[in-house]
Amino acid sequence: MSDATLTPPAKAERRWLAPTLLALVIVAALYLVVVVYATGEVLLALTLLVIAALAVWIYSAKATYAFRYLFPGIAAALVFVVFPMLYTITIGFTNYSSRNLLEFPRAEAYFLSDTFRAEGSSYEFSLHPAGAEYRGRLVDAESGAAFQFGPLALAADRRLEVAAEPEPAGAAALPEPVTLKELIGHQKALKGITVALPDGRKVGMAGLREFAAVQPLWVKRPDGSLKNQENGSVIRANPVSGFFETEAGEKLQPGFQVGIGWDNYRRIFTEARFREPFVRIFVWTVLFSALTVLFASSLGMLLAVLLNWDALRFKGSYRMLLFLPYAVPGFISILVFKGLFNQNVGEINLILSSLFGIKPQWFSDPLLAKVMLLIVNTWLGFPYMMVICMGLIKAIPADLYEASAVAGAGPLTNFWSITLPLVLKPLTPLLISSFAFNFNNFVLIALLTGGRPDFIDTSVPAGTTDLLVSYTYRIAFQDSGQNYGLAAAISTVIFLMVAAVSLVQMRFTKVVEDEKR
């Protein structure tokens, strides 16, 4: 409906509709930014704020009308590509690990929330259901006096002080107490409750079925240090190591996150325990990626040439059979091959044993394990290359082959002089992307070898079949230290390496094309 056919009230309503919707979107976006910022994700909140600002500008300004259709893709790239990359780079400059998980305020609060049992009476404790909430009952172990508190909802993420009242004589009996299993489930929440008795004393949970007088174990002093009220010792936060340390230098858990600059990158290239496996794994990663691309593309191109042979019968059936490895999910094929290569019961070793009397150690011999990986990855990759090459060969003008036949050239001459040059040029970007994909082919390594057999001369988890990406995963999640900061630094280095190799390959391809011209 055009504006000319609208009544004045309808025109006014339509004029105010767009600003109203825009205002609602802005309010919702700002609310989301505030919620994300409140959780401590400053970088993500900043990213969402930038996206919201761009959205308001693009969808409200006439000069940016053409970008309205591109913006959803740009926003998705910022959230799912740029933000993870920046977040990973940021972590690489910290000591973030399983020993340094918390931010400093949370680590400090952990110490300040710790308590110790002080002198005073102890009370038998039982927890009773009260509808959707609970009531607590305390009984003095010496005098037998009983107190009740509640009802209250138990939440593990809050600290609460409640008042207890004397249990009146003849009061209705409380329901049966909760089971031990349920009590254990509420233990964390109960530890956050302080009960104030009628005489002013305060007690806290000292055991699953006991409350007693407790005091904070640590108190914060004016200089920021923490003093132990039980033994008088003092600990101080070390902003360099990321730990609270005693006067003797002992580091206490939990640690906290601090910025350490380029230390993680320095460790990769200067510490022998990281440098030696890193260099060896990098060399193998490049070889694995290059050989996979070479074998898969060569096999795929060979099959594509054969399937384009006019005299070949049943070509459709062959195409379908050869494409099946690509149609089957990769992880299923990998697990099937893991069984086929089994040393004792695998079909491959059974055949080799029957024919030649040998049983190769596919998973324990480093060289054979690498050969196995190349075989499996070639099997997974050649169908896609075959399909691409078949399409490219179909696009080659038939006149070229007819002229070649008139000149007396054979099939090999046709391949090297016509087919390969015309197919290789459009295939080059795909080969580069395939190299980059296999550079980070984590699934194959994780499912088939797990990076093993391991190096026997390294103190960090590293295997002879590890790629850089699986080596990073083992450092981040499988090592006892779980060093996320170091893993993030390695990930950043991998990204730069892949980008550099891809740029060099693209530049070299361009130079070759220029020379041919």
Residue 118, CB-side half-sphere exposure with 13 Å CA sphere: 13
Contact indicator for 101, 185 with CB cutoff of 8 Å: no
At residue 5, the pLDDT reads 57
At residue 321, the pLDDT reads 85
Q: Which residues face 215 on adjacent strands?
A: 116
Contact indicator for 99, 149 with CB cutoff of 8 Å: no
Contact indicator for 422, 453 with CB cutoff of 8 Å: no
At residue 8, the pLDDT reads 58
Strand ranges of the sheet holding 193-196, from the earlier edge strand across to the other edge: 160-163, 193-196, 202-207, 210-216, 115-130, 133-140, 146-152, 165-166
Buried b (16+ CB within 10 A) or exposed e, 243-274: bbeeeeeeeeebbbbbebeeebbebbeeeeeb
Tokens 């059974």 correspond to what residue? 350
Whole-angstrom Cα distance, residue 233 to residue 227? 6
Domains annotated on the chain, with CATH: 3-91 (1.20.58.370), 115-216 (2.40.430.10), 267-516 (1.10.3720.10)
At residue 509, the pLDDT reads 65
CA dihedral for 344, 345, 349, 351, sign (positive or negative): positive
Q: Which residues face 226 on adjacent strands?
A: 220, 235
pTM given for the model = 0.74
Tokens 């300040």 correspond to what residue? 112
At residue 244, the pLDDT reads 95
Which residues make Cβ contacts (< 8 Å) with residue 156, sequence separation at least 6?
Answer: 188, 189, 192
- CA 494 from chain center: how many Å? 15
Residues of the chain with pLDDT under 50: 1
At residue 104, the pLDDT reads 93
At residue 517, the pLDDT reads 57
Residue 264, helix vs strand vs coil: helix
Alpha helices in 169-271 (DSSP H): 180-185, 187-191, 263-270
